[in-house]
Chains A and B, each alone.
Chain A
């Protein structure tokens, strides 16, 4: 059974710092991996999708990497801003056809001005 773990559970940094969020999964047979952010009381906003054949994806100040063989992904946020404060969720799509996502518990990020 696939299990997804995110470390740390919470992180507080001063504005302007670069930071890394970690995600690990127990079954390397994934179809893809998706990073989301969730603001309090809101739904999920998709940040990046990495297919199993890819090593990384970039969008603006965000960079996500995937090492399928070791069961790890990282989300790198450059030059953090207070508006980046949110919960970041990692989710893996399983099997050979994707479909349902298995989520980690999330990392709650606070960026202080």
Chain B
């Protein structure tokens, strides 16, 4: 079946603008994760959703970052007032349930100028 998809694949934005990144998980997967990959920090966890439970937001770097998951499926990661240090590849993953194998999407490359 279809894998995890993300859009857009690339996003260039000006410092101070808001951006929204979208993730479509594998159908039927109850858990959805956001990670960020940057040259200096490697791959780091941001937030994850599990069914109807409150999301684990422990990895969000600041209150400019937020995410929601509507209807237990699609998720949107929003970054407000973007800064140059937000430039990175944002990766989404999903798994059948918490603790199961995670499958990653191709990522969104965000460049803040």
CA distance A25 to B72 in the complex (A): 32
Dominant SS at the B interface?
Answer: strand
Secondary structure of the A contact surface, majority rule: strand
Interface size on B, residues (CB 8 A): 24
- In the complex, are the beta carbons of B104 and A44 less than 8 A apart? yes
Contact between B101 and A34 (Cβ–Cβ < 8 Å)? yes
- Report the 8 A-B pairs with minimum CB-CB distance, sorted nearest first: A98-B99, A44-B104, A103-B43, A100-B45, A49-B101, A43-B106, A43-B104, A99-B98
- Residues on B facing A (Cβ under 8 Å): 31, 33, 35, 42-45, 48, 50, 56, 58-59, 91, 93, 98-107
A43 contacts B50, C-beta separation under 8 Å: no
Given contacts A43-B106, A43-B107, A97 and B45 within 8 Å (CB-CB)? no
